[in-house]
Amino acid sequence: MGTSKSRASTKAAKSAPAIPTRLVPEKTFVLDNGAYTMKAGWACDPSVPAEEALSHCVTIPNAIVKTRDNRIWTGAQLNTHVTDWNEAVFRRPVEKGFIVNWEAQREIWDQTFFEEKATPRNKQLRIAKPEETTLVLTEAPNNLPVLQRNTDEMVMEEWGFGGYARCLGPTLNAWNDVNALFGDPLTKNDAEVSPKDCLLVVDSGYSHTTVTPVYKGQPLQRAIRRLDVGGKLLTNYLKEIVSMRQYNMVDETYIMNEVKEAVCFISNDFTHDMEKTWKANRKREDAQSVVVDYVLPDPNANKKGFMRPHDPLLHAKKKKGALSGLSPEVLSEDVLVLGNERFTAPELLFRPSDIGMQQAGIPDMILQSLSVLPPGLHAALLANVLVVGGNSCIPGFMERLENDLRAITSSECVVRVRRAEDPFRSAWLGGSRFASNREELGKVVITRQEYQEYGSGWATRRFAGLV
């Protein structure tokens, strides 16, 4: 790519013959740009085991945060610089899974990937020469064409990557070693990385939950379905009901997110669990298994929040105050008592109608997705349901999904539901393996020269598979 230094010289690009100079840069950077976190790193050899490959992948919060003391932190700084999360407010460039605000996104990318000085710390993430790098960027399904075009223009014109591929995040999971996960025999030798034939990817993330049937590494677009319930909605819902019943937590998004991650579970017997947490049953033995206390973090005393079993006696004593003879630490701590909140909040993934949302839960969504596909594919897809995304880590999620799906599908079908080994970075890992298959990668990548010749409208249509 001799002409790549001067970006504006489209003349030079046009005079060059189109086909023989199609150089896709050798080094590939894979970026799974999620709404909550970005998963990024250099693609590595597929022969190394998954754990080692994942050590190349770094998770960076994709947000700009203003803390209580009016200081602003960006991206990776959130992990290191912020200790007091009370009343922190967030600005996220990604809305509904799509990059919308490029002003913020550029700032985060610049700070994370394009630092001018190479330090040992940013070695894994620094893209020194974008023009000699192929970028594999993920996007959520059913993006708006306007936003796709904005993305293409930013990637190619602001940073000028040498090669660029924008692909659906869920489809990349098919390139992982899914056969081992499902316990299938390995049919081929590992000489070349190839995608799984049929895979149904359920991606339950921060903004939404999507179902994507993937056939040989490509999405079946007509069957992609989206449920507008994601981690954000669950956190907000939990925040709302806790604020209504106990402390006012409406400004504590981050803390409630931690509470959610610590205490929430998905009930496999909703009615029974509900009875257990009824206030008249609270004192019984079996209620103790569900009701828990969450001690809120105290940044002044440098204490983190944690969960502990509910103790009604301690609670009664605390109400009496100093008379009860408890230690001042116990008296000063703020405790949320969480009963049915623990399972009614994540229940929305399976019953969105509980808050009046006119959308089907995840098992129903899978059926709706399958209903527009040829019946011959149903069995193969149902036997290979892969779950990725943060919500799949909620305890009980996998069992509930498998049970519910089993109950509503025909008995002839085998239903196998598996969670990816690393549900957060599964798409990244798949992207890394995909990048090692140069032939397949070459089919989807556009080079910088092509972009300069045909423009962004062409690029958008190219990625849409129309060209």
Partner 1 sequence: MFRVELLANTTTHATPGYTYVADRGQAPAKANTAPALGRKRGINNAGKGGDISSRRANAILRHLAELDRENQRDVSIPIPARPAREAGARVSRTKTSSNVRRILVSQKTFRNHIDDEDAAIAAGGGGLSVPVGAAAVGPVIPSRVKAVAATGLAGSTAGTPRRSSTPTAASMTPAGAGVRKKRGSTLATVTTPSTPTPAPATTPAPAPATSEANDAKREDDSQDHRHKILKTEHDSDPLLHSFGPTIPSERIMDRLLSEPALSYHASRVGSPLSTQLPRSFCCMCGYWGKIRCKSCHLRTCGLDCYKVHEDSRCGAFF
Q: Which residues contact 125 (CB under 8 A, 6 or more apart)?
A: 40, 41, 58, 60, 112, 113
Q: Which lies closer to partner 1 via its Cβ, residue 300 or residue 411?
A: 411
Residue 71 or residue 303: which is nearer to partner 1 going by CB? Answer: 71
Torsion 37-41-44-49 (CA) sign: negative
CB 237 within 8 A of CB 345: yes
User: How many angstroms separate the CA atoms of 35 and 96, rounded?
Assistant: 7
74 beta partners:
64
Q: Which is nearer to partner 1, 391 or 432 (CB)?
A: 391
Distance CA 293, CA 262 (A): 11
Helices 362-370 and 397-408 sit at what angle, rounded to 10 degrees?
50
Query: Minimum distance from CB of 420 to partner 1 (Å)?
Result: 22
- Toward partner 1, which CB reaches closer, 211 or 429? 211
Q: How far is the CB of 428 from partner 1 (least distance, A)?
A: 22
Least CB distance to partner 1 at residue 53 (A): 28
- The first and second tokens of residue 217, run together, are 């590494």
Phi/psi of residue 201, each to 5°?
-95, 120
Least Cβ distance, residue 179 to partner 1 (angstroms):
18
Looking at the Cβ atoms of 182 and 270, the one nearer to partner 1 is: 270
Tell me the two tokens of residue 386.
Answer: 């892969």
Calpha distance 205→198 (Å, rounded): 22
Q: Nearest distance from residue 59's CB to partner 1, in Å?
A: 20
Q: Are 49 and 190 in contact (CB under 8 A)?
A: no
Class of residue 155 by CB neighbours under 10 A (exposed 0-12, middle 13-18, buried 19+): buried
Nearest approach in angstroms of CB 37 to partner 1 is 15
Token pair of 61, please?
Answer: 């919060």
Which residues have CB under 8 Å from 12's CB, separation 6+?
Answer: 3, 6
- Two tokens, residue 258: 């931690």
Q: Compute the distance between CA of residue 85 and CA of residue 79 in angstroms, rounded to an integer.
A: 11
Closer to partner 1 by Cβ: residue 43 or 168: 168
Of the pair 198, 429, the CB lying nearest partner 1 is at 198
Q: Specify the residue, 316 or 414, whose C-beta has the smaller distance to partner 1.
A: 414
Q: How far is the CB of 251 from partner 1 (least distance, A)?
A: 5
Closer CB to partner 1, residue 229 or residue 388?
Answer: 229
The nearest distance, CB 351 to partner 1, in angstroms, is: 7
Max Cα–Cα distance, the chain, nearest Å: 88
In the complex, the smallest distance separating the C-beta of residue 344 from partner 1, rounded to whole angstroms, is 6
